[in-house]
């Protein structure tokens, strides 16, 4: 009997030492630097859908969203400092710069606040990063282009939001891809801000001065705008890489139905914001095994599967996936070496 009591006591100790912290009283803030395109709107929608339920289920006490009024780094730095003063336990951040916010991020960490960056990541070591290999995605764009345009030719590059880690990484991947496929040459590069209207205006501005282009490599949210500008200018239709937006995939389907047009589409799923939320919650929950860099795959569509996905994407929206807590735990486990 005494032996059973001892074993029971030991079991109680084991349970007590493996029980994670209660996060029902914890507050998580989301610092977002930009909301001016369909991807960012879908990102916020996914975050809201997941976090509102988490708050209702008393997983956390709050999951508030703060979007800056402009794209400037000092504005977001001031916002982060405000969130520190407001007593949040964790900050999820889509950052305006990979390194210019590091001072504010370090202040948050020093105050005991968990920081999880995603999409626009930060390099401050104390922060967690939910990372998509954007450089590999940019490289893959050129590799896919080589399948559609094996003879090569001139390419137009549309870049994203200047100064962000995403823009830098995709651009570097595209340059790497062109170096590996010297039959291609980038003859012009414009800034599209991941927004079809901005991209359309930028492409329309440079088209009159360009030689004929056989392809457009870009970053998502800009493919349909490029197609509209090229059609309006009466230029030959090139192979335009797409970025998983509903308007882009719809245009692709229309072109395919007309004459078999082929291309490829890829982007980070906006619902990665919900994964970043769950990572923050898991850190607050006491998990010590979470690596500071978690790699997640980008979402790509091919000629064979994009039409099946198209009806599932909201008009004006982006193909996405919202993470559950269980899926987040599986993603964390997959990153533990």
State pLDDT tens for residues 264-275.
999 999 999 999
Cβ(192)–Cβ(202) under 8 Å?
yes
The pLDDT of residue 10: 36
Return the structure tokens found at 234: 């009466």
The pLDDT of residue 8: 37
DSSP-derived secondary structure for 72-103 = -HHHHHHHHHHHHHTT-SEEEEE-S-SSTTHH
- Closest to 101 in 3D by CA, of 65, 127, 63: 127
pLDDT mean across residues, the chain: 93
Q: Measuring CA to CA, how many Å separate 15 from each of 2, 20, 50, 82, 284? A: 20, 10, 29, 38, 19
Cβ(215)–Cβ(145) under 8 Å?
yes
Asked whether residue 25 carries a pLDDT value surpassing 90, the answer given is yes
Question: What digits encode the pLDDT tens for the residues 75-124?
Answer: 999 999 999 999 999 999 999 999 999 999 999 999 999 999 999 999 99
Cβ(40)–Cβ(32) under 8 Å?
yes
Domain boundaries, the chain: 15-132+269-298+318-335, 134-267
Query: What are the beta bridge partners of residue 28?
Result: 63, 90
- Closest to 240 in 3D by CA, of 275, 213, 212, 273: 213
CATH hierarchy code of domain 15-132+269-298+318-335? 3.40.50.2300
Asked whether residue 9 carries a pLDDT value surpassing 90, the answer given is no
The pLDDT of residue 337: 75
Cβ(242)–Cβ(225) under 8 Å?
no
**Exposed e or buried b for every residue in 178-192, given b needs 16+ CB within 10 A?**
beebeebebbbebbb
CB atoms within 10 A of CB 108: 25
Protein fold of 134-267: Rossmann fold (3.40.50)
Question: What digits encode the pLDDT tens for the residues 181-224?
Answer: 999 999 999 999 999 999 999 999 999 999 999 999 999 989 99
- Whether 134-267 and 15-132+269-298+318-335 are alike in CATH topology: the answer is yes
**What pTM did the predictor assign?**
0.84
- Report the percentage of the chain scoring pLDDT > 90: 90
């Amino acid at each position: 009997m005494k032996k059973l009591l001892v074993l029971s006591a030991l079991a109680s100790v084991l349970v007590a030492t493996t029980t994670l912290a209660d996060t029902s009283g914890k507050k998580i803030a989301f610092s977002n630097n930009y909301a001016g395109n369909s991807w960012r709107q879908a990102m916020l929608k996914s975050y809201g859908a997941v976090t509102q339920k988490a708050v209702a289920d008393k997983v956390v006490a709050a999951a508030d969203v703060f979007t800056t009024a402009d794209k400037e780094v000092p504005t977001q730095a001031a916002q982060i400092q405000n969130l520190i003063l407001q007593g949040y336990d964790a900050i999820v951040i889509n950052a305006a710069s990979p390194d210019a916010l590091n001072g504010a991020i370090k202040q948050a960490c020093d105050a005991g606040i968990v920081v999880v960056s995603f999409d626009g990541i930060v390099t401050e070591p104390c922060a967690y990063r939910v990372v998509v290999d954007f450089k590999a995605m940019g490289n893959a764009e050129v590799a896919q282009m080589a399948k559609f345009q094996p003879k090569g030719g001139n390419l137009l590059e549309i870049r994203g939001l200047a100064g962000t880690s995403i823009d830098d990484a995709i651009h570097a991947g595209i340059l790497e891809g062109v170096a590996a496929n010297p039959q291609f040459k980038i003859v012009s590069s414009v800034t599209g801000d991941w927004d079809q209207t901005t991209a359309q205006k930028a492409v329309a501005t440079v088209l009159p001065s360009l030689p004929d282009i056989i392809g457009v490599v870009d970053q998502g949210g800009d493919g349909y705008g490029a197609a509209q500008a090229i059609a309006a200018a009466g230029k030959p239709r090139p192979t335009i890489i797409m970025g998983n937006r509903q308007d882009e995939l719809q245009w692709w389907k229309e072109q395919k139905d007309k004459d078999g047009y082929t291309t490829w589409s890829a982007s980070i799923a906006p619902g990665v914001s919900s994964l970043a939320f769950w990572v923050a919650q898991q850190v607050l929950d006491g998990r010590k095994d979470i690596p500071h860099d978690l790699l997640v795959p980008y979402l790509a569509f091919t000629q064979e599967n994009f039409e099946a996905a198209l009806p599932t994407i909201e008009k004006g929206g982006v193909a996405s996936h919202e993470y559950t807590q269980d899926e987040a735990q599986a993603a964390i486990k997959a990153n533990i070496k």
